Structure 1
Amino acid sequence: MDLLNPLDAIFLAVESREHPMHVGGLQIFEPPADAGPEFTRDLYEAMVSADEVRTRFRRKPSRGLLGGFSSVAWDHAGEVDLRYHLRRSALPAPGGVPELLDLTARLHGQLLDRHRPLWEARLIEGLDDGRFAVYIKIHHALIDGVSAMRLLQRTFTDDPFDTRLRVPWAMSAPGGDHPAAESSWQQARSALPRIITTARAAVGPLRGVLDGRLELPMSAPPTMFNVPIGGARRIAVRSWPLERINAIRHATGATINDVVLAMSSAALRTYLIEHDGLPDAPLIAMVPVNIRHVDAESDGNMVAACLCNLGTDIADPLARLRTISASMRNAKQIFTQLPQIEAMALSALLMAPLGVSLVPGFDALPRMPFNLVISNVPGPRKPVYFQGARLDSNHPLSIPFESQAMNITLTTNGDNLDFGIVGCRRTVPDLDRLPGHLEDGLAELEKAIA
């Protein structure tokens, strides 16, 4: 039995039918040129035969004294039924992207079984253009987006002729990922000094909040996204060439992430205008920033929560981009100057109001902690392959929270940026229009620098 760190424990504790707390991804592959009609069937059989399952993929919530599931400790499954965790699915005709996204949305809205290790995957066939897809989801208490992408990248190769099978559940973290040798009581005793240190660390970062350099939680205006949500999901995806984003970056001095946030701001502004819901005050996005050391690999979540002014109240695209750049620059300056433990403490402080909104009786806050999460997760920077099949697109799919009905996440994939947009099916209509609005936001920036 292993103890969870406090942030991971929260991800387990707040999960409900309305709030599935897993992250996922949808990868679409082009089979090798010489692939026969049984390629995906053979691939599936090879994958379920890879029965060396590492520690992370054996973890499930421990059972408490009264028989319920605990949110503070992991148990480890002795046997993992891979034919349960990895299944085959086929799309109905015509087998296009809409059918693929409909299936993925249904899978992404379903809770993971807490009696089993908290992950599942699907090998999806039947696309009308001959490609196939893989959807995988893992509980956020087990992994964050950066760790998930690093793990996924280790299953790929840049050699199209390398057909050695690498599956996520058989990949160990650098240095190993063995269960802790200490008992739970010993872990608790050793964790106490870290908890006290974290509490003390929370005092110092308050200076960064109070001196006005950070966007404050509870300063976001209410929007149609900031309402109670259900568990069903809608999904939209699209990819853009990095060269288009880089052209704007070079012309303006902004970062790639600034340009992505400006695209998102323009899309949200247009969407809200269409639904008569654009507030006078600017939307605030929570932008996760990885605070691991460069080569570090660890279980659990290690991200800082930067709050960014999206400038949705500004009509001019370049002025909006400048506002976003300044907001992110100020937030990063605060976090990069802090020791890792203080950065996490400040993140917890900024995220605290969102946790309060999940407590019964506190579901009607006067202002929102932030309006949505927009996350940019590093991915492979060159073409990669899996069993000789080329990865065409890799769309990360994350979590809409209570009162946070939409999430935008993207990742690098060779020369492209692949976006995955997830929304509450009940409260976010016309989600499939968001990719078009993102394109319009990019195009107006290109026009402004021309």
Structure 2
Amino acid sequence: MSQRLRPRDLALLADETAATPMHHATVEIFDPGDTGFDHDRLVALIEERISFVPRYRCRVQTVPGRLATPVWVDDRDFDLAYHVRRSALPRPGSMDQLRELVARIVSRPLDQGRPLWEVYVVEGLADGRVAVLWKSHLALVDGIDTVDLGQVLLDTSPEPTSLGRDEWRPERAPTPIGLVTEAVSDALHDPRLVWDTVRANSASALRTVGGAADRVGRVAGALANRRPVAESPLAGELSQQRRVVTVRTDLAAHRKVREACGGSVNDVILATVTGALRGWLMTRQESLSGVRRVRAVAPVSVIDEELEATSLGTQIAPHWVDLPVGEPSAVVRLHQVSYSFQAHKDTGRGVAADRLAGISGFAPATFHALGARVAAEELRRGFAVAVTNVPGPQSPLYAAGARMTETYPVHPLLPGHALAIGVTSYDGGVFYGITADRDLLPDAELLGQCVTDALDELVDAASGSRGRAPRGRRRPSKRVEP
């Protein structure tokens, strides 16, 4: 029996447009050493391990007449060479050149007629390094039946574990009559599927009508020569192109701030993002006027039986935090962020960072995808930016013997959202990945510099700090003047 897409998966596919491709990505940089790590070695590794994520060889098949939600079916024309691609920078390639290439690749939607993923092996980086860019659709990686392919490819030792080639044979493609018969059978056995189908079809129709109404409204406004309402610098109508900024920092610096001021490394990361946004907004003097807080959604890992289970042993829930960009003191900003997470900590549902980091494989790739899914589901509740922080292992990982030295998440932009931020800690580093709309945030590179400046400011403040972040329920300072 074919596996049917759930309504939330279908919504992620239906909401995708040329301006809002709904895939997440990860950029990993490897030091091949003398392993000869290259495109061919990665293809061989994927051939060995893709059987652990069988959906990566499936495509989406619609049901005639939309009598039921689509199903995942084996792609009988599956071609690994199509999905794993080779690229190169002019030697010696710089990080700026890599970021520009990554931005162009992540701007392009995936082909929904094929399995919803792509991998790019980018050679030519300075010092012989090799970059690998993973793209997977949010509908593909649900954390329940499928984790990110990147999670199953990395080893804890430079000596890779050989699993041999799997003997996969695609199942026979379902016929239109077979799809209809299966849909009727499923509906008889589980009446909820009827409601799922009605809800999915209704949502699709509403999106079509809503999009047409929005276009008519913009045309009418233009004909009336009305001036547009001033928008937040973090919001606007997205273009079809992106900017990608990467920032590498030291975990030791974050821990130093935590030890001096209290809280957690997660609090320090959110305070760093807050300081970066403040510094960036101050460069846009007209944008800082009236801005005191930036509403953010920060997905968190919890243990909650009422939420949908995942194969990772935890559930992902949204957490809302107002980033105090109007507060001039770096330490007070940290205290306010720490206080905002105190209620979450007090519930006892939170999952310790070391437990997340200890999950087998490279789990951050999957957790970032799940965080992006949560942000997409919470879009109607209103927020300015999504910030997903995932702790990873603090020992090196390897792909076909090559050591991974850096890893940067690249989150999708949601409709109307010009910025998304992902953070991964790994092997002594904290890696910030910033995705921005190319037209709305032409100065996104400056925001990356502001991340470094904000962390330096926290470290300097912590060196002279005498007070620690509040551990209890005491309300933090309310100073918000810029």
Q: Please classify the TM superposition score into its range, dividing by the shorter chain length.
A: 0.7 to 0.9
Aligned mates of 1:252, 1:148 — CA distance in 2? 39
Aligned match for 1:320, one of 325, 329, 333: 333
* Residues 196-229 of structure 1: per-residue CA shift (max 9 Å, x gap): 9xxxxxxxxxxxxxxxxxxxxxxxx962111111
Q: CA deviation at 1:290?
A: 2.5
Match status 1:354 vs 2:395: no
Matches within 5 A, 1:284-303: 284-291=295-302, 297-298=310-311, 302-303=315-316
Aligned mates of 2:98, 2:242 — CA distance in 1? 14
* Residues 94-116 of structure 1: per-residue CA shift (max 9 Å, x gap): 41111111111111110100110
Amino acid corresponding to residue 156 of structure 2 in structure 1: D
Aligned match for 1:229, one of 209, 227, 238: 238
Amino acid corresponding to residue 265 of structure 1 in structure 2: T
TM-score, structure 2 normalization: 0.71
Contact 1:61 1:69 in 2 (8 A): no
Match status 1:2 vs 2:3: yes
Contact 2:30 2:404 in 1 (8 A): yes
Contact 1:383 1:390 in 2 (8 A): yes
The verdict on how the C-alpha distance between 1:193 and 1:70 changes in structure 2, with shifts beyond 3 A counting, is closer
Matches within 5 A, 1:385-404: 385-404=398-417
Match status 1:248 vs 2:261: no
Contact 2:22 2:137 in 1 (8 A): yes
Which residue of 2 is the match for residue 119 of structure 1?
A: 117
Aligned mates of 2:89, 2:374 — CA distance in 1? 44
* Residues 382-421 of structure 1: per-residue CA shift (max 9 Å, x gap): 1111111110101111111112111110112111111111
1:57 counterpart SS class: helix
Aligned mates of 1:410, 1:349 — CA distance in 2? 16
1:393 counterpart SS class: strand
1:231 counterpart SS class: coil
Amino acid corresponding to residue 441 of structure 2 in structure 1: V
Aligned mates of 1:348, 1:138 — CA distance in 2? 12
2:59 counterpart SS class: strand
The verdict on how the C-alpha distance between 1:7 and 1:132 changes in structure 2, with shifts beyond 3 A counting, is same
Matches within 5 A, 1:49-198: 49-50=47-48, 53=51, 54-65=53-64, 72-143=70-141, 152-162=150-160, 164=162, 183-185=182-184, 189-190=189-190, 192=192
* Residues 62-103 of structure 1: per-residue CA shift (max 9 Å, x gap): 22426x999754333234110000011111344111111111
TM-score, structure 1 normalization: 0.76
2:341 counterpart SS class: helix
Amino acid corresponding to residue 304 of structure 1 in structure 2: A
Contact 1:307 1:331 in 2 (8 A): no
**What fraction of aligned residue pairs are identical, expressed as a percent?**
31
Aligned mates of 2:325, 2:4 — CA distance in 1? 42
* Residues 173-201 of structure 1: per-residue CA shift (max 9 Å, x gap): xxxxxxxxx955565554739999xxxxx
2:8 counterpart SS class: helix
Which residue of 2 is the match for residue 282 of structure 1?
A: 293
The verdict on how the C-alpha distance between 1:303 and 1:433 changes in structure 2, with shifts beyond 3 A counting, is same
* Residues 314-370 of structure 1: per-residue CA shift (max 9 Å, x gap): 111111111111112224556939xxxxxxxxx999977734xxxxxxxxxxxx811
Contact 1:146 1:378 in 2 (8 A): no
Aligned-residue Cα RMSD (Å) equals 3.6
Structure ID, larger Rg: 2
1:418 counterpart SS class: strand
Which residue of 2 is the match for residue 360 of structure 1?
A: none
Contact 2:251 2:430 in 1 (8 A): yes
Aligned mates of 1:83, 1:99 — CA distance in 2? 24
Which residue of 2 is the match for residue 208 of structure 1?
A: none
Contact 1:150 1:379 in 2 (8 A): no
Which residue of 2 is the match for residue 361 of structure 1?
A: none
* Residues 116-145 of structure 1: per-residue CA shift (max 9 Å, x gap): 010000111111221001101100111158
Unmatched tracts of structure 2, length 5 or more: 169-180, 197-229, 351-371, 464-482
Q: CA deviation at 1:152?
A: 2.8
Amino acid corresponding to residue 252 of structure 1 in structure 2: C
Contact 2:292 2:327 in 1 (8 A): no
Aligned match for 1:259, one of 253, 268, 278: 268
How many residues end up aligned between the 2 structures? 387
Which residue of 2 is the match for residue 270 of structure 1?
A: 279
Amino acid corresponding to residue 410 of structure 1 in structure 2: V
Aligned mates of 2:190, 2:101 — CA distance in 1? 45
Aligned mates of 1:249, 1:18 — CA distance in 2? 39
Aligned match for 1:444, one of 457, 461, 469: 457
Contact 1:228 1:403 in 2 (8 A): yes
Matches within 5 A, 1:30-45: 30-32=31-33, 34-35=34-35, 39-44=37-42
Unmatched tracts of structure 1, length 5 or more: 171-181, 197-220, 338-346, 356-367
Contact 2:62 2:69 in 1 (8 A): no
Aligned mates of 2:47, 2:378 — CA distance in 1? 45
Write out the 4+ residue segments of structure 1 that deviate beyond 6 Å after TM superposition.
68-71, 145-150, 193-196, 347-353
Contact 2:421 2:434 in 1 (8 A): yes
Which residue of 2 is the match for residue 384 of structure 1?
A: 397
Contact 1:48 1:86 in 2 (8 A): no
The verdict on how the C-alpha distance between 1:370 and 1:191 changes in structure 2, with shifts beyond 3 A counting, is farther
Contact 1:317 1:448 in 2 (8 A): yes
The verdict on how the C-alpha distance between 1:142 and 1:352 changes in structure 2, with shifts beyond 3 A counting, is closer
Aligned mates of 1:309, 1:432 — CA distance in 2? 24
Q: CA deviation at 1:231?
A: 2.3
2:282 counterpart SS class: helix
Aligned mates of 1:409, 1:148 — CA distance in 2? 21
Aligned mates of 1:144, 1:2 — CA distance in 2? 13
Amino acid corresponding to residue 116 of structure 1 in structure 2: R
Q: CA deviation at 1:305?
A: 1.2
Q: CA deviation at 1:440?
A: 1.1
